[in-house]
């Protein structure tokens, strides 16, 4: 029996974007541009009003949409006739189960879910029969991709551990490195403090210079790989995203340092927002 979709008057269009790390500013901007362009090119002509763009930077995909700072506001704001536009499914949903239950609920309430980055398929709207089928298939493949990435990350972490290199939360912020000061007497845990990492800042400054001279990220990446220049925070080869992130972090650090008093130091807390935090760079220790 053919499913009948309730027709409702076009309401508001909400854009939702997310990045798992604060320093992925370029990722957020790219999503922003695509969603806003789709609204003006397609949705506005259909009678939809602009409801706003909700952004969750630094939020991991494993957090449910309704439990995210901006995601929860989105869920509460939706009314029949509204539409939610996002670039990819995994920007909003942590797994297939959450996507299917949310998409079904929104469909019953007359709310459209629109995905933009679907390759040759084009834009998918969950309110159409074809869109529902294809969106479900995309959810399954997105879950598969997430599981494969998780497996690869675990393999990389294990390899780094075997080589004595930091992994995960043990990676110091950009421009800094951990220096061990011994172990405490109680639990035997390592006591570490932050220390400046001049060579890391030099590489970041070089990336900025090359970009300012008109070099492309791909060209810089190829040059770094040929010369064996690695990301000193992890000991791994640079990726395109890391190149861009380090250039932005270097610029934000320079701007913040220009306003500091002699002897003060900072590190980036939220690179995408330019937030910094003062930290002790002398004998004070950071316990881990």
HEC string of 183-198?
ECCCCCCEEEEEEECH
What is the average pLDDT score of the chain?
A: 77
Q: What is the mean pLDDT of the segment spanning 108-115? A: 89
Polymer length in residues for the chain: 288
Reported as a pLDDT band with limits 50, 70 and 90, residue 186 is low
Which ranges constitute the DSSP H helices of 78-197?
A: 96-108, 129-162
Condensed to tens digits (0 to 9), the pLDDT of residues 31-84 reads 888 899 999 999 999 999 999 999 998 888 888 999 999 999 999 999 999 999
Amino acid 160: pLDDT: 55
Quote the crossing angle between the two packed helices 217-227 and 198-212, to the nearest 10°: 140
With beta carbons less than 8 A apart as the criterion, state whether 171 and 231 touch.
Answer: no
* 277 bridge partner residues: 267
- Please, what's the b/e burial string for 155-174 (b: 16 or more CB within 10 A of its CB; e: otherwise)? eeeeebeeeeebbeeebbbb
Share of the chain above pLDDT 70, in %: 69
What's the CATH number for 12-149? 3.40.50.1390
User: In which order are the strands placed within the sheet that holds 190-196?
Assistant: 176-183, 190-196, 286-287
Amino acid 120: pLDDT: 43
Parse the chain into domains and list their residue ranges.
12-149, 168-287
Owner of token pair 């003062």: 278
pTM of the full structure: 0.50
Task: Name the range with the highest mean pLDDT among 87-96, 138-147, 255-264, 278-287.
Answer: 87-96
Amino acid 78: pLDDT: 95
117 DSSP assignment? -
Condensed to tens digits (0 to 9), the pLDDT of residues 57-66 reads 888 888 899 9
Closest by CA to 92, choosing from 119, 118, 72, 122, is 72
* More reliable by pLDDT, 62 or 165: 62
Reported as a pLDDT band with limits 50, 70 and 90, residue 280 is very low
3 DSSP assignment? P
Share of the chain above pLDDT 90, in %: 25
Query: How many CB atoms are located within 10 Å of the residue 4 CB?
Result: 6
Terminal Cα-to-Cα distance of the chain (whole angstroms)? 61
Reported as a pLDDT band with limits 50, 70 and 90, residue 262 is low
State both tokens at 264. 């003060």
Rounded CA gap, 122 and 111, in Å? Answer: 20
Task: Name the range with the highest mean pLDDT among 68-77, 85-94, 165-174.
Answer: 68-77
CA distances (Å), origin 190, targets 50, 94, 133, 150, 179 = 52, 35, 53, 28, 10
Which ranges constitute the DSSP H helices of the chain?
A: 25-38, 69-77, 96-108, 129-162, 198-212, 217-227, 240-257
Amino acid 16: pLDDT: 94
């Amino acid at each position: 029996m053919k499913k009948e979709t309730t027709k409702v008057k076009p309401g508001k269009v909400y854009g939702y974007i997310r990045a798992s790390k604060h320093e992925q500013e370029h990722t957020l901007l790219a999503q922003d541009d695509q969603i806003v362009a789709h609204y003006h090119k397609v949705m506005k002509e259909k009678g939809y009003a602009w409801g706003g763009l909700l952004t969750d930077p630094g939020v991991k995909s494993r957090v449910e949409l309704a439990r995210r700072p901006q995601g929860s506001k989105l869920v509460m704001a939706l009314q029949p006739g509204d539409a939610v536009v996002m670039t990819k499914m995994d920007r909003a949903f942590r797994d297939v189960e959450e996507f299917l239950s949310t998409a079904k609920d929104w469909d019953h309430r007359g709310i459209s879910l629109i995905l933009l980055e679907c390759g040759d398929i084009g834009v998918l709207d969950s309110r159409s029969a074809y869109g529902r089928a294809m969106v479900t298939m995309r959810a399954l493949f997105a879950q598969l991709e997430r599981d494969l990435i998780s497996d690869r990350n675990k393999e990389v972490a294990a390899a780094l551990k075997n080589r004595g290199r930091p992994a995960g939360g043990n990676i110091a912020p950009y421009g800094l490195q951990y220096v061990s000061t011994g172990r405490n007497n109680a639990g035997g845990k390592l006591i570490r403090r932050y220390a400046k990492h001049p060579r890391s800042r030099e590489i970041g400054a070089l990336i900025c210079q090359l970009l300012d001279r008109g070099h492309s990220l791909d060209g810089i990446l190829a040059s770094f790989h040929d010369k064996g220049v690695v990301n000193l925070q992890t000991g791994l080869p640079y990726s395109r995203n890391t190149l861009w992130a380090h250039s932005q972090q270097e610029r934000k650090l320079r701007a913040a340092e220009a306003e500091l008093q002699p002897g003060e130091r900072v590190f980036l807390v939220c690179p995408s927002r330019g937030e910094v935090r003062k930290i002790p760079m002398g004998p004070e220790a950071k316990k881990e």
